[in-house]
């Protein structure tokens, strides 16, 4: 009997020890879970503190870009006697700042920057191994001019260019678009008009960049591909029309027709000349043929006016957002304008080539 009691007591002690161990393990688990939760909350707080430590600086100048786009050096205004500043303080005095990039998208975008560009940056000071980590950047812009200011500057640029043309032509600028037959030339008109619009746009852009962004940004104005192609088509049309007319007049003179392109009785009339053919004087008993409304001339005239009006509106809108970058590109024309312009000029040259010299 005593032996049996001892066995029961031993079993009870064993069960008690096992319960005690399980109870202790449960408590230890709770403590570990609480510790892990605390660590997680601490890490979240640290991350939030680091994120809140991000700084955003406006209007900094790009001073150097690594060839592999892994780093970027910037300067803070006034950009004179700048000193390196590994850990930027609260004072916004002139200082140089070295930034590193970790994001692949940022690295690709850095390829578009040039030394001297003004940008807005957001970075984490001392975020990674004591380095300033660039988080995001965007191109900075000058204050947006009012609409009436933009219109006045464009108008003054155009008037200045017109005044220069008047001085060079002894105040007879119409000579620039009148042909040898004393009629206004369609090819000369559209070439002169596009040249006028392009140069006036360039002058207005230079003025706005110099006035609103600083003299450092005078120059650096590029012409986009479609606008360049459109301007080239204007020159090509003028040259082609001149070559076709000259060759036809020479051929007619060789056959005894010295009045293929008469100038004796013709008086320049702007809208009439640009929408009607030349007509033909009475020759060899044949009755004179009066000028007729010409579809090719009308088409070219209308397309040129639409293209110019559209570009002027787009350009005035373009001036509302002047980016403070070293190189800026003028607004481009859309492919529809380019295609219609090319078709109109092609039709005009075809008409010149196949038509009678006295009528085209």
Query: Is-above-0.85 flag for pTM?
Result: no
- Select, from the ranges 125-129, 181-185, 287-291, the one with the highest average predicted confidence (pLDDT): 181-185
Query: What is residue 188's predicted lDDT score, i.e. its pLDDT?
Result: 92
**244 has pLDDT over 80:** yes
**Tokens 């606008």 -> residue:** 227
| Three-class secondary structure of residue 317 per DSSP | helix
How confident is the prediction for the chain on average, in pLDDT? Answer: 80
Coil, strand, or helix at residue 122? strand
Residue 137 has pLDDT above 90, yes or no: yes
List C-alpha distances in Å: 140 to 69, 165, 167, 324.
Answer: 20, 37, 40, 6
Tokens of 62: 């790009």
Confidence of residue 306 (pLDDT cuts 50, 70, 90): very high
What would the pLDDT profile of 222-235 be if each residue is shown by its tens digit?
999 999 999 889 88
Q: Please tell me the predicted confidence (pLDDT) of residue 93.
A: 54
For the stretch 166-175, contacts whose Cβ atoms lie closer than 8 Å and that sit 24 or more positions apart, written own/partner, are 174/268, 174/270
**How far is Cα 343 from Cα 125, in angstroms, rounded to an integer?**
58
Q: What tens digit of pLDDT does each residue of 173-198 get?
A: 999 999 878 889 999 999 999 999 99
Angle at CA of residue 279, ends 275 and 283, nearest 5°: 170
- Reported confidence tier of residue 24, pLDDT bands at 50, 70, 90: low
List domains and CATH numbers for the chain.
54-139 (2.40.50.140), 147-354 (no CATH)
Q: Could you tell me the two tokens for 12?
A: 């009870």
* Lowest mean pLDDT across 155-164, 294-303, 324-333: 294-303
Q: Is 125 helix (H, G, I), strand (E, B) or coil?
A: strand
List all residues 6 or more positions away from 240 whose beta carbon is below 8 Å from its beta carbon: 187, 349, 352
Cis peptide before 303 (omega within 30 of 0): no
């Amino acid at each position: 009997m005593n032996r049996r009691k001892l066995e029961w007591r031993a079993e009870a002690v064993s069960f008690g020890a096992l319960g005690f161990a399980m109870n202790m393990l449960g408590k230890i688990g709770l403590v570990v879970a609480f510790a892990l939760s605390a660590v997680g909350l601490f890490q979240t707080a640290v991350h939030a503190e680091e994120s809140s430590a991000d700084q955003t600086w406006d209007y900094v100048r790009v001073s150097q870009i690594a060839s592999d786009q892994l780093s970027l050096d910037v300067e803070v205004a006034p950009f004179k006697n700048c000193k390196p500043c590994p850990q930027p303080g609260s004072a916004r005095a002139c200082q140089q700042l070295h930034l590193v990039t970790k994001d692949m998208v940022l690295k690709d975008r850095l390829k578009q920057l040039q030394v001297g560009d003004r940008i807005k940056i957001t970075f984490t000071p001392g975020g990674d191994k004591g380095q300033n980590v660039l988080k995001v950047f965007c191109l900075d812009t000058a204050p947006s001019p009012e609409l009436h200011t933009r219109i006045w500057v464009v108008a003054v640029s155009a008037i200045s260019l017109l005044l220069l043309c008047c001085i060079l032509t002894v105040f007879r600028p119409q000579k620039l678009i009148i042909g040898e037959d004393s009629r206004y030339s369609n090819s000369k008109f559209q070439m002169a008009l596009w040249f006028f619009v392009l140069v006036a746009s360039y002058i207005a852009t230079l003025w706005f960049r110099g006035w609103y962004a600083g003299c450092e940004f005078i120059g650096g104005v590029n012409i986009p591909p479609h606008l360049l192609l459109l301007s080239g088509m204007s020159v090509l049309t003028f040259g082609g029309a001149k070559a076709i007319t000259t060759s036809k007049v020479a051929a007619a003179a060789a056959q005894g027709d010295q009045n293929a392109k008469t100038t004796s009785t013709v008086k320049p009339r702007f809208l009439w000349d640009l929408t009607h053919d030349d007509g033909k004087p009475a020759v060899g008993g044949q009755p004179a043929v009066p000028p007729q409304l010409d579809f090719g001339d009308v088409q070219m005239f209308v397309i040129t006016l639409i293209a110019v009006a559209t570009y002027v509106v787009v350009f005035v809108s373009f001036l509302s957002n002047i980016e403070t970058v070293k190189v800026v590109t003028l607004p481009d024309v859309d492919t529809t304008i380019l295609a219609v312009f090319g078709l109109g000029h092609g039709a005009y040259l075809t008409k010149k080539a196949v038509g009678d010299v006295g009528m085209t």
